[in-house]
Amino acid sequence: MQDDAIPPASRSVGSVGGRAVAKEICRCFDQHKVRRRPRVVRFHVERQDTASAAWRDLLDLVEEAAADGREKFRPLGDLDLDERRQIITPPPTISKRTEVKHLMLYGSNLARIPPEIGAMTGLRQFTPYTSHRLHWFPYELTRCLQLRNSTVSTRSLYGNVKIRPPFPPFQPGRASIRDLDTGDLDPKVWGTDMIGACSVCGRPIAEAGLHQVWISSQVGTDVLPLLVNACSPACIDALPAPAEGYVPTPHTGGPGIVQPHADYA
């Protein structure tokens, strides 16, 4: 769903004027105006604090929801504002939620979604609306074959048709990852702190190479920028054609990538 008028992102360093808030301002790029001279955009650098009480509470909520089989899942809804601000990514255990039909992440402070979302095979509706720090999604989301409806703050997305902000640049592809600890990566460089398997074929990355590319594809109601962690050039070649009106091939990002003109003046 294209959002034509997104209000300014919430300010937050924990509180504003003594009032607790659930999310932080994002200044990765201007989400309201076209920038005539594209600059280098980087990923969010935060790592999830898995030792925090907020994270432990979230893990418990995921387990509780898995046990009762609810079809609409709002994992952050039972956390207080300060706890929600501490959640940078949903836990990989969301993969257990195969019965969920609607995943609600409205107004979150999330900076990334784990590839394990691809195991939520029952997902039909995805709502990360007003989560203004979510600029991209994992390619694994395309495995949710029943997903038909989404509500995304599209101006917050890399390469969106309104603003056409640049995509972060990727590192050169590697035929081998022997010298790379894929279980402890720098999110500023790789977009995530862990890469386990190929987004395309599912092969363990540890057994192959690593080639990251962007592709803009229709997922649900929206065209989303998807991060592909491929184990080989052959897997990149196997990707479908990008959505019409976007960069016509998978690409490695950076301000030098030529995008179609923005629709917003």
Distance CA 91, CA 50 (A): 9
Structure tokens at 160: 């969106």
Residue 151 lies in a domain: yes
Domain count, the chain: 1
Cβ-based neighbours of 141, under 8 Å, separated by 6 or more: 113, 117, 118, 126, 147, 219, 224, 226
Report if residue 22 sits inside a domain: yes
What CA–CA distance (Å, rounded) separates 154 from 27?
A: 16
The domain of 192 spans 15-237
Is residue 251 included in any domain, yes or no? Answer: no
Residue 200 lies in a domain: yes
Residue 90 inside a domain? The answer is yes
Residue pLDDT, tens place only, 11-38: 344 544 445 667 899 999 999 888 777 7
pTM metric for this prediction: 0.90
List pLDDT tens digits, range 150-194.
999 999 999 999 999 999 999 999 999 999 999 999 999 999 999
- Residue 95 belongs to a domain: yes
Domain assignment present for 249: no
Please report whether residue 178 resides in a domain: yes
Residue closest to 140 by CA, chosen among 123, 154, 156: 123
| 76-134: pLDDT as tens digits | 988 999 999 999 999 999 998 999 999 999 999 999 999 999 999 999 999 999 999 99
Identity at 197, one-letter amino acid code: A
